[in-house]
Amino acid sequence: MPADTPAALGYAMPAEWEPHERTWMAFPTRNDTFDTAEGLEAARTAWSAVAAAVAGHEPVSLVVAPGDVEAARRHLKAAAPAPAHPVTLTELPLDDAWMRDIGPTFLTGPASPTGEHGLAAADWVFNGWGAQDWASWEDDQHVAEHLARLAGARRFASRLVNEGGGIHVDGAGTVLLTETVQLDPGRNPGLTKAEVEAEIHAHLGTSHAIWLPRGLTRDYDAYGTRGHVDIVAAFLRPGVVAAHHQPDPGHPDHEVTREIIALLRASTDAAGRPLEVVEITAPTATHDADGAPLDWSYINHYVCNGAVVLCAFDDPRDQQAADVLARAYPTRAVHLVDAREIFANGGGIHCITQQQPRV
């Protein structure tokens, strides 16, 4: 391992359940995703509801495109007139609003000899989820660098095309990856698994990768990510992973999730422990009004200080999922926040949030 990588210098990505300094988000701005005035307003309302839920437990920093500040203030005030923690606005040029993917992956490590605190940031190459023809990333490709500077983090630029939604760590050496993301020809043509793992481990401080074969079916449609892991599997603690379970044999994800759950159950973590798999059943709604399979998933939740912000779908299984996560995080409140509008635009609550760990 080169001597100047984050891992070699003692940095690593903490698990999401470790204490946060703040959460970073981005406010939706007009683009090909939010392409109508009504759609943009609906997205801004949904994003603001998530910001309000998180701000009940920790500070939120919201990146806002120039010209959108007043709209952001209006939506935030409607969502939470007096949040427990501040929501601060930072103006930066934006193409889209998926902070998990465009923001940096924050790391913690030892303080430097000059007294700088031990916060660092892995800055992956962002190219619009594999240079998809609808995506724009002229501005978004620079967001991670801007945020690292604003947070006072030591920045480490990676050569790997990757997004935060394409990784999930247990904070104890294990990382989840997906073959159709990091090995996507639109992202990293020609790279082998070994080469991807070397770059991932060098920047996250991990030592063991578990590769899932693919993501959920809908994620390969237009506006999909081609298989992000954070909608299908997420660590709950070292040795324990939550997995999306689609019980309906008529849904294409029925076989997908069976395969993934079986793979996870046959896997071990960095410490050599067999994984315990906690299945979280998909909502009862399986297809949208056009007959396309839904990828609604409770796996795409966000763990912040004192709470779990969980996707809700006005579905009978919302509370079941909340109960599972309440057992997994007994010291945290579980807040159900309607995520249907977020999913309609291509992601979920985890996709629009990015934690900055406390050091």
Question: What pLDDT is recorded for position 114?
Answer: 55
Question: What pLDDT is recorded for position 1?
Answer: 57
Question: What pLDDT is recorded for position 117?
Answer: 67
Domain limits at 198? 20-357
Does 6 reside within a domain? no
| Rounded-to-integer distance, Cα 205 and Cα 172, Å | 9
Confirm if 156 and 147 have CB atoms less than 8 A apart.
no
Does 30 reside within a domain? yes
Does 140 reside within a domain? yes
Give me the number of domains the chain comprises: 1
Question: What pLDDT is recorded for position 339?
Answer: 98
Does 139 reside within a domain? yes
What is the CATH classification number for the domain harbouring 198?
3.75.10.10
| Rounded-to-integer distance, Cα 35 and Cα 232, Å | 28
Does 184 reside within a domain? yes
Question: What pLDDT is recorded for position 111?
Answer: 67
Question: What pLDDT is recorded for position 30?
Answer: 92
Nearest to residue 214, comparing CAs of 255, 166, 164, 256?
A: 256
- H or E segment and range at residue 302: strand 302-304
DSSP string, 117-159: -SEEEEEEE--HHHH-TT---TTGGGHHHHHHHHHTPEEEEEE
Does 176 reside within a domain? yes
Count, residues in the chain? 359
Of 49, 87, 349, 351, the catalytic one is 351
Does 249 reside within a domain? yes
Does 62 reside within a domain? yes
What does the pLDDT profile of the chain (359 residues) look like in tens digits? 577 899 999 999 999 999 999 999 999 999 888 889 999 999 999 999 999 999 999 999 999 999 999 999 999 999 999 999 999 999 999 999 999 999 999 999 986 655 556 999 999 999 999 999 999 999 999 999 999 999 999 999 999 999 999 999 999 999 999 999 999 999 999 999 999 999 999 999 999 999 999 999 999 998 899 999 999 999 999 999 999 999 999 999 999 999 999 999 999 999 999 999 999 999 999 999 999 999 999 999 999 999 999 999 999 999 999 999 999 999 999 999 999 999 999 999 999 999 999 99
Question: What pLDDT is recorded for position 41?
Answer: 97
Confirm if 22 and 356 have CB atoms less than 8 A apart.
yes
Write down the H helix ranges in the chain: 37-55, 69-79, 99-102, 128-131, 143-151, 179-182, 193-204, 253-265, 318-328, 340-344
Type of residue at 104 = P
* Degrees, nearest 5: CA angle 230-231-237: 50
The answer to whether 304 is a known catalytic residue is: no
